[in-house]
Amino acid sequence: MTAGVYARLDLAGLDGTPDPSAYALTRPDDVLGLVSDETVVASCALWWTEPLHIDGENVRIGRVGHVDWATEADGVVLLEAALDRLRAEGVGHVVGPIDGSTWFGYRVVTDAAPGGGEPSPPFALEPWPPPVVAAAFGAVGFAPVARYLSSRVDALPDESARLGAEVDTLVEGGVTLRPFRAEEAEAELRALHPLLLEAFAENPYYAPLDVARFLALYRPLVARVDPDLVLIAEAEGWPVGVVLAFPDGAQAARGEAVETIIVKTLAVAPEARGRGLGGTLVRAVQEAARAKGFRSAIHALMHTANDSVRISRRLGRPIRRYALLGREL
């Protein structure tokens, strides 16, 4: 096979061909591979059929994700071919790296240490593509189109008194908090699915996720979490808010004591906003973690325009900044 960029059907059987199972949930429209000496040395996936949400509308936007290359030069060659393919499909705007939509992996690190000094180590499930990924995207004209950050609460405060008063106020308004019921995990996830669809619908570059893929995505995660660190707010028996946190397994992998929780997901239904429920959920899960002996928290991967950032700003300090990149075609 002559060296060059080939589509998915032409890559079968070559060394380095991406495993199709990697795309089972993200369902790309095609996969491209850069071939050299009968080996796939760089690859990426493309999406152009399903629209994404942006600026209040559903828009047909090209996406480049599942990126894998070892050198900036290989990445540039592959991305130039990807842009040509997306132009041929009639796409006018493209973003990346993003594995289809914001339900899956996306972003590059733009500032590893916003406060200066040495970067803190990566935390569990943190996206941190190698620098050659951002470099190749930049070399073909991509620039930030959405920005995100993670922040750290260095010492979990005792907020039990404030939390008690907030929970009492919620109860008076018909909202109660409870932990995730691990023994009913499937039913719990099915009940949370419509809440998360509604809560995330205004996020940029969002696309709805069907219940089958949602369950496949979240089952492995909830199977490993402490139910006391997943709190659900209910009104009239239905979820109107949720916060999901878990211990930072990256600390254990480094041989350290696990003293930090990752606050990964915070969602509040539109009709329940404006009464401080998001802040109460974050305080409640941090208080539950503090009671279990955790000492700090990371508020992970927040869009800079989201309410979660305003909540986190009062409690923590930025430790990492990220961006989703895009360009016109």
List, for residues 93-103, the tens digit of each pLDDT value.
Answer: 999 999 999 99
| Inter-residue contact 17 to 40 (CB < 8 Å) | yes
pLDDT at 313: 60
Whether the pLDDT of residue 50 is over 80: the answer is yes
List, for residues 134-161, the tens digit of each pLDDT value.
Answer: 999 999 999 999 999 999 999 999 999 9
Whether the pLDDT of residue 187 is over 80: the answer is yes
- Which two three-digit tokens encode residue 299? 């508020």
Whether the pLDDT of residue 312 is over 60: the answer is no
Q: What is the DSSP letter of 154?
A: S
pLDDT at 240: 98
Whether the pLDDT of residue 308 is over 70: the answer is no
Mean pLDDT of all residues in 249-264: 97
Q: Would you place residue 223 in the very low, low, confident or very high pLDDT band (cuts 50, 70, 90)?
A: confident
Whether the pLDDT of residue 315 is over 80: the answer is no
The answer to whether the peptide bond before residue 129 is cis (omega within 30 degrees of 0) is no
Size (the chain), residues: 329
pLDDT at 122: 97
pLDDT at 259: 98
Mean pLDDT of all residues in 238-246: 97
DSSP secondary structure of 284-318:
HHHHHHHHTT--EEEEEEEETTSHHHHHHHHH-EE
CA atoms within 13 A on the CB side of 327: 17
pLDDT at 57: 87
- What's the chain's average pLDDT? 94
- 327 to 19, 109, 179: CA distances (angstroms): 28, 18, 43
Sign of CA dihedral 279, 322, 325, 27: negative
pLDDT at 316: 79
Whether the pLDDT of residue 199 is over 60: the answer is yes
Whether the pLDDT of residue 311 is over 80: the answer is no
Whether the pLDDT of residue 309 is over 60: the answer is no
Whether the pLDDT of residue 314 is over 70: the answer is no
**Domain architecture of the chain: domains with CATH:** 4-148 (3.40.630), 156-294 (3.40.630.30)
Angle at 308 between CA 244 and CA 321, to 5 degrees: 100
Angle at 129 between CA 45 and CA 119, to 5 degrees: 165
Higher-confidence residue: 151 or 115? 151
- 253 to 5, 127, 249, 258: CA distances (angstroms): 37, 16, 6, 9
Whether the pLDDT of residue 208 is over 60: the answer is yes
Mean pLDDT of all residues in 166-190: 96
Rounded (10°) angle between helices 160-172 and 277-291: 140
| Inter-residue contact 182 to 222 (CB < 8 Å) | yes
pTM of the model: 0.93
Q: How far, in Å, CA of 67 to CA of 97, rounded?
A: 7
